[in-house]
């Protein structure tokens, strides 16, 4: 069994914001795998499906970003999932240009409070797909930036990157090498 987590904030006011890219990628994966029924469980929305004979769980924590780990740890414990090898987390990253994707197997939170929450529950070793949203232009502007929406110019790059992030996650499930995945889906 594998768990794919997309980070974001619940509620209509946060839909389609930079900080909700994790939710958007999980929605794309759900569409690709025909997982339409998400249930409210474990402080999140969870969908179940299959991919190439393996059970897949898709999770969108509903705890707000800073407490994402609270939802994730409940799912990991209930289903006995090993976060180091059976979980992928997808989230926005200001250190990458808009639409740029990067896979990491471990690391620090890098200032991302959702990742900080997850690390506090499971440690630094888990697969992650970082989705570039560009820089905010200063610490004082960060909150407004991450909770803002994409410009018309950015939307095409973001749409393509959401599709690529979905493909990356499914390739990781298949055990494809990270370097090969990065070459295929990160040509920018």
Compute the distance between CA of residue 16 and CA of residue 7 in angstroms, rounded to an integer: 12
Compute the distance between CA of residue 109 and CA of residue 97 in angstroms, rounded to an integer: 18
Query: Mutual orientation of helices 113-122 and 68-79 as an angle, nearest 10°?
Result: 30
Q: How many residues make up the chain in this entry? A: 188
Check: CB of residue 15 under 8 Å from CB of residue 69: no
Which segments of the chain does DSSP mark as H helices, in order? 21-33, 68-79, 83-86, 113-122, 142-146, 152-173, 178-185
Compute the distance between CA of residue 87 and CA of residue 76 in angstroms, rounded to an integer: 9
Residues recognised as catalytic: 19
Residue 39's Cβ-side half-sphere holds a number of Cα atoms within 13 Å equal to 6
């Amino acid at each position: 069994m594998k768990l794919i987590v997309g980070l974001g904030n619940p509620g209509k006011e946060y839909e389609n914001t930079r900080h909700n890219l994790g939710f958007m990628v999980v929605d794309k994966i759900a569409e690709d795998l025909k997982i339409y029924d998400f249930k409210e469980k474990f402080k999140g929305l969870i969908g179940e499906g299959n991919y190439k004979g393996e059970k897949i769980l898709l999770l969108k924590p509903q705890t707000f970003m800073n407490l994402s780990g609270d939802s994730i740890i409940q799912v990991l414990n209930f289903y006995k999932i090993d976060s180091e090898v059976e979980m992928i987390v997808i989230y926005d990253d200001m250190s990458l240009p808009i639409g740029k994707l990067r896979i990491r197997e471990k690391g620090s939170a890098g200032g991302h409070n959702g990742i900080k929450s997850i690390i506090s529950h499971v440690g630094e070793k888990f697969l992650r797909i970082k989705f570039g949203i560009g820089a905010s232009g200063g610490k004082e502007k960060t909150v407004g930036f991450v909770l803002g929406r994409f410009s018309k110019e950015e939307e095409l790059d973001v749409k393509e990157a959401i599709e690529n992030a979905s493909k990356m996650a499914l390739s990781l499930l298949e055990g494809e090498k990270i370097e090969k995945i990065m070459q295929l889906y990160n040509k920018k």
